[in-house]
Amino acid sequence: MGRVAYIRNRLALMVFVLFGVTIVIFGMVRVLPGDPAFLILGDRATEESAAALRVQLGLTKPLLEQYWDFMSGIPQAKFGMSLLYRQPVGDLVLRRVPVSIYLAIYAMVLAAIITLTFGITAALKKGRFADHAIRVVFLLFLTTPSFWLGILLILFFSLRLRILPVAGYGETSIDHLRYLFLPALTLALGLSAVLIRNLRGQIILVQRSDYVRTARAKGLFEGQVLQRHVLRNALMPVITIFGLQFGYLVGGTVVVETVFAIPGMGQLLIQSITARDYPVVQAITLISAFLVIIVNLAVDISYSFLDPRVTYE
């Protein structure tokens, strides 16, 4: 099977996966406790006004009809009307998607830089102080909740050193880079803690291989051996974990966007779950699942570029 056929089959499978996601999330949001009508009306809620609002919002329709209304709008990116904001869900959510994607990509870039820097250092300094220090520090990052790590970064870089903004998104591209640096670093440190440990182990394992000893025997410089023979083979498992951890980033943005007041999908999701805004929760979950599937597909395709021996048979 060639690369094109493999991609075509994966995309076809993606349709079935997303269909399953719609069924699961449609059922789950409706078992959440609380009545959306009472939450929207607040102190003004009465049984009569709540009943009228349920009819207006379509919450009295049979579940199958509600599910069909949701599914029929997906091809046109129309997910119905928000129960809380009273505007089209597609417009509401799609305005937030670029912000969350920007944050996730920013975090992945920082995680890649941190992983390569400290993973290679730890492997080359195996058993020395630098190796132990890197492993202990990143173990702390791994076990620290993202919201607490974000607060600590705010206290140090924003309130003490006053070199980075506390919260927000900014207006220009330069502002986005500044405002999102701490949120992206918060996500990247937790992700890097997993990747560094794996990269260190893979480099140590590959360095014991016969072809690496042969390359050194030929007189190649250590940097050439590391770049041409060690890293290309050691990175394969790390890239797999990198792709799988994208789901961690999607989930992590929910907390981080709330801590740093970033107007992305995560912040909107928290608000929508609190208000039982079913259409918004369904749309954000579906879009997040789509992004995770696409990233995993991109990771699988990247194997053949890193190692020409990889085929899709």
Binned at pLDDT 50, 70 and 90, residue 185 comes out as: very high
pLDDT of residue 309: 59
Select from 61, 96, 131 the last residue of a domain.
96
Cα torsion at 195, 201, 205, 211 (round to 10°)?
40
Verify that 143 and 259 share a domain, yes or no: yes
Whether residue 274 lies inside any domain: the answer is no
Whether residue 87 lies inside any domain: the answer is yes
Higher per-residue confidence, 233 vs 163: 163
**197: pLDDT strictly greater than 90:** no
Select from 241, 263, 285 the last residue of a domain.
263
% of the chain surpassing 70 pLDDT? 84
Q: Kindly report, residue by residue over 90-126, the tens digit of the pLDDT.
A: 888 888 888 888 888 899 899 989 998 998 888 888 8
Whether residue 291 lies inside any domain: the answer is no
Verify that 50 and 168 share a domain, yes or no: no
CB 292 within 8 A of CB 247: yes
Verify that 114 and 131 share a domain, yes or no: yes
Whether residue 192 lies inside any domain: the answer is yes
Whether residue 311 lies inside any domain: the answer is no
**209: pLDDT strictly greater than 90:** no
CB 171 within 8 A of CB 155: no
Q: Kindly report, residue by residue over 149-160, the tens digit of the pLDDT.
A: 889 999 999 888
3-state SS string for the chain = CCHHHHHHHHHHHHHHHHHHHHHHHHHHHCCCCCCHHHHHHHHHCCHHHHHHHHHHHCCCCCHHHHHHHHHHHHHHCCCCECCCCCCEHHHHHHCCHHHHHHHHHHHHHHHHHHHHHHHHHHHHCCCCHHHHHHHHHHHHHHHCCHHHHHHHHHHHHHHHCCCCCCCCCCCCHHHHHHHCHHHHHHHHHHHHHHHHHHHHHHHHHHHCCHHHHHHHHCCCCHHHHHHHHHHHHHHHHHHHHHHHCHHHHHHHHHHHHHHCCCCCHHHHHHHHHHCCCHHHHHHHHHHHHHHHHHHHHHHHHHHHHHCCCCCCC
Verify that 63 and 137 share a domain, yes or no: no
The distance from CA 190 to its chain's CA centroid, rounded to whole angstroms, is: 12
Burial 221-259 (b: 16+ CB within 10 A, else e): eeeebbeebbbebbbeebbbbbbebbbbbbebbbbbbbb
Higher per-residue confidence, 179 vs 295: 179
Verify that 217 and 242 share a domain, yes or no: yes
Verify that 118 and 168 share a domain, yes or no: yes
Q: Please give the model's pTM, rounded to 2 decimal places.
A: 0.79
% of the chain surpassing 90 pLDDT? 7
Whether residue 138 lies inside any domain: the answer is yes
Total of domains in the chain: 2
pLDDT of residue 1: 54
Q: What is the mean pLDDT of the chain?
A: 80
**310: pLDDT strictly greater than 70:** no
Verify that 43 and 157 share a domain, yes or no: no
Select from 44, 64, 96 the last residue of a domain.
96
**174: pLDDT strictly greater than 80:** yes
Residue range of the domain that includes 102? 97-263
Whether residue 119 lies inside any domain: the answer is yes
pLDDT of residue 181: 93
CATH code assigned at 198: 1.10.3720.10
pLDDT of residue 16: 83
Verify that 62 and 110 share a domain, yes or no: no
Average pLDDT (79-95) is: 79
Average pLDDT (137-143) is: 88
**192: pLDDT strictly greater than 80:** yes
pLDDT of residue 133: 92
Give the Cα separation of 311 and 313 in Å (integer): 6
CB 70 within 8 A of CB 224: no
Verify that 235 and 139 share a domain, yes or no: yes
Verify that 221 and 249 share a domain, yes or no: yes
Whether residue 304 lies inside any domain: the answer is no
Verify that 125 and 232 share a domain, yes or no: yes
Verify that 119 and 75 share a domain, yes or no: no
* Residue reference for tokens 């801590």: 259
Average pLDDT (71-77) is: 73
